[in-house]
Amino acid sequence: MSSIIQLLPDHVANQIAAGEVVQRPASVVKELLENSVDAGATDIKLIVKDAGKTLIQVIDNGKGMDVTDARLCFERHATSKIRHAEDLFALHTKGFRGEALASIAAIAHVELKTKQDQQELGTHIIIEGSKFVSQDVAVLPKGTSFSVKNLFFNIPARRNFLKSDTVEFRHIIDEFERVALAHPGISFVLYHNGSEMFNLPSSNQRQRIVGVFGARTNEKLVPVNESTEIVQVQGFIVKPEFAKKSRGEQFFFVNNRFIKSGYLHHAIMAAYEGLLKDGCQPGYFLYLDVPPNTIDINIHPTKTEIKFDDEHALYAILRSSVKHSLGQFNVAPVLDFERDANLDTPYDYERKEAVMPMVEVDRNFNPFADDKPAKSAFGTSGGSSAPARQFRKQERMPAWESLYTGLTPATEEFEGTDFEEDEITGSLFNENEVEQAVQTTYQIHKKYIVSPIKSGMVIIDQKRAHQRILYEQFLKNITVQHGSSQQLLFPLVLHFNKTELDLIREMKSSLENTGFVFAEVNHDHIVVSGLPVNVSESEVSILLEELIDDLQQEVPDSSFSQSDSIAKSMAKSLAIKTGTLLTEKEQENMVNSLFACKEPDVSPFNKPTFITVSVEDLDKRFAV
The string of pLDDT tens digits covering residues 279-338 is 788 899 999 998 888 877 766 666 677 778 888 899 999 999 999 888 877 676 656 666
Distance CA 47, CA 196 (A): 9
pLDDT for res 386: 45
pLDDT for res 372: 56
pLDDT for res 155: 83
Distance CA 435, CA 431 (A): 9
pLDDT for res 295: 77
Quick check: pTM over 0.75? no
pLDDT for res 88: 53
Judge whether residue 512 has pLDDT over 80: yes
pLDDT for res 388: 47
Judge whether residue 407 has pLDDT over 80: no
Judge whether residue 213 has pLDDT over 80: yes
pLDDT for res 318: 92
Q: Which of 99, 246, 235, 164 has the alpha carbon at shortest distance from 506?
A: 164
Q: pLDDT band for 557, please (50, 70, 90 cuts).
A: very low
pLDDT for res 180: 94
Question: What is the arrangement of strands in the sheet containing 187-192, beginning at the earlier edge strand?
Answer: 131-138, 122-128, 109-115, 143-149, 55-60, 43-49, 187-192, 195-200
Tell me what the pLDDT averaged over the chain comes to.
Answer: 80
Judge whether residue 385 has pLDDT over 50: no
Q: pLDDT band for 84, please (50, 70, 90 cuts).
A: low
Q: Which residues pair with 460 in a beta bridge?
A: 449, 610
**Which of the pair, 412 or 483, is modelled with greater confidence?**
483
**In contact, 304 and 355? CB cutoff 8 Å:** no
Distance CA 108, CA 16 (A): 14
Distance CA 53, CA 165 (A): 8
Q: pLDDT band for 396, please (50, 70, 90 cuts).
A: low
pLDDT for res 543: 84
**Residues above pLDDT 70, as percent of the chain:** 76
**Residues above pLDDT 90, as percent of the chain:** 22
Average pLDDT over residues 372-391: 48
Q: Show the DSSP H helices in 92-161 as ranges.
A: 100-106, 156-160
pLDDT for res 320: 92
Average pLDDT over residues 347-351: 67
**What's the full length of the chain, in residues?**
624
pLDDT for res 12: 66
pLDDT for res 504: 85
**In contact, 578 and 446? CB cutoff 8 Å:** yes
Q: pLDDT band for 379, please (50, 70, 90 cuts).
A: very low
Q: How many CA atoms lie within 13 A of 326 on its CB side?
A: 26
Q: Which residues pair with 614 in a beta bridge?
A: 456
pLDDT for res 381: 46
Average pLDDT over residues 352-374: 76
pLDDT for res 558: 47
Q: Which of 19-23, 196-200, 597-601 has the lowest mean pLDDT?
A: 19-23
pLDDT for res 343: 64
Q: Which of 156-170, 486-500, 541-555 has the lowest mean pLDDT?
A: 541-555
**Which of the pair, 96 or 164, is modelled with greater confidence?**
164
454-511 pLDDT, tens digit per residue, is: 888 899 999 999 999 988 888 888 777 677 788 888 888 888 877 788 888 888 888 8
Most confident of 73-82, 249-258, 393-402, 615-624: 249-258
Average pLDDT over residues 70-88: 66
Distance CA 351, CA 498 (A): 38
Average pLDDT over residues 526-546: 84
Q: Which of 216, 249, 202, 187 has the alpha carbon at shortest distance from 522?
A: 216
pLDDT for res 349: 67
Burial of 313 (0-12, 13-18, 19+ CB in 10 A): middle
Distance CA 453, CA 436 (A): 20
pLDDT for res 383: 47
Q: pLDDT band for 398, please (50, 70, 90 cuts).
A: low
Q: Which of 84-88, 358-362, 597-601 has the lowest mean pLDDT?
A: 84-88
Average pLDDT over residues 24-31: 90
Distance CA 458, CA 451 (A): 5
Distance CA 182, CA 411 (A): 93
Judge whether residue 276 has pLDDT over 80: yes
**Which of the pair, 276 or 392, is modelled with greater confidence?**
276
Judge whether residue 189 has pLDDT over 90: yes
pLDDT for res 365: 84
pLDDT for res 461: 92
Q: Which of 105-109, 184-188, 430-434 has the lowest mean pLDDT?
A: 430-434
pLDDT for res 208: 93
Q: pLDDT band for 368, please (50, 70, 90 cuts).
A: confident
Q: Which of 557, 450, 545 has the alpha carbon at shortest distance from 504?
A: 545
